[in-house]
Amino acid sequence: MKNIGIWLDKNQAHVVTIENSNETLKTIPSNIEHFNVRGGSGTRLKGGPQDVVQDSKYLEREKHQFKNYFNEIIPEIQDAENILIFGPAEAKIKFKKELEENHKKLDDKVAKVETADSMTNNQVIAWVRDFYK
């Protein structure tokens, strides 16, 4: 029986595989850019020249980067019997949505999606181990 837990955020994913009491941890970097868009001009005067920031361009680029990130995770979980998804923020929800829309067989194996803070590698492994006990 192969149980998998995935802790993921915008920076990286830790994939924990438990099979026959053996635990393995693989870290997958996301390579998602952190956009820090700041409009600013050389004046402090009200109504002065302002920069136009094209949020849609940045959001579209981020969406494609998330898609590539998730496509790196999916081969690692293909042969899982149960999948636990957990982590902070919204990356886990985006990943679950990606499974629902494009990977129905894997989505059916998702046992739970939980919120969890940032963790060390050992804490991630312990969390997955405790979940499947």
Please indicate, yes or no, if residue 113 is contained in any of the structural domains: yes
Secondary structure in 3-state letters for 15-57: EEEEECCEEEEEEEECCCCCCCCCCCCCCCCCCCCCCCCCHHH
Q: What is the pLDDT of residue 54?
A: 73
Please indicate, yes or no, if residue 127 is contained in any of the structural domains: yes
Query: What's 110's domain CATH number?
Result: 3.30.420.60
The DSSP element (H or E) to which 4 belongs, if any, is strand 2-8
Number of domains in the chain: 1
76 versus 49: the higher-pLDDT residue is 76
Please indicate, yes or no, if residue 70 is contained in any of the structural domains: yes
Residue 89 has pLDDT above 80, yes or no: yes
Q: What is the pLDDT of residue 82?
A: 97
Cα four-point dihedral sign 100, 113, 31, 71: negative
Residue 40 has pLDDT above 60, yes or no: no
Please indicate, yes or no, if residue 92 is contained in any of the structural domains: yes
How far is CA 51 from each of CA 35, 48, 58, 98, 109, rounded to the nearest angstrom? 16, 10, 15, 34, 47
Local confidence band at 63 (pLDDT 50, 70, 90 cut-offs) = very high
- Range of 9's domain? 2-31+52-132
pTM for the whole structure:
0.85
Q: What is the pLDDT of residue 35?
A: 75
Query: 4-8, 40-44, 95-99, 103-107 — which is least confidently predicted?
Result: 40-44
Please indicate, yes or no, if residue 40 is contained in any of the structural domains: no
Please indicate, yes or no, if residue 45 is contained in any of the structural domains: no
Q: What is the mean pLDDT of residues 6-30?
A: 96
What is the tens place of the pLDDT at every residue in 46-60? 666 566 667 888 889
Please indicate, yes or no, if residue 117 is contained in any of the structural domains: yes
Please indicate, yes or no, if residue 20 is contained in any of the structural domains: yes
Local confidence band at 104 (pLDDT 50, 70, 90 cut-offs) = very high
Percent of the chain, pLDDT > 90?
A: 77
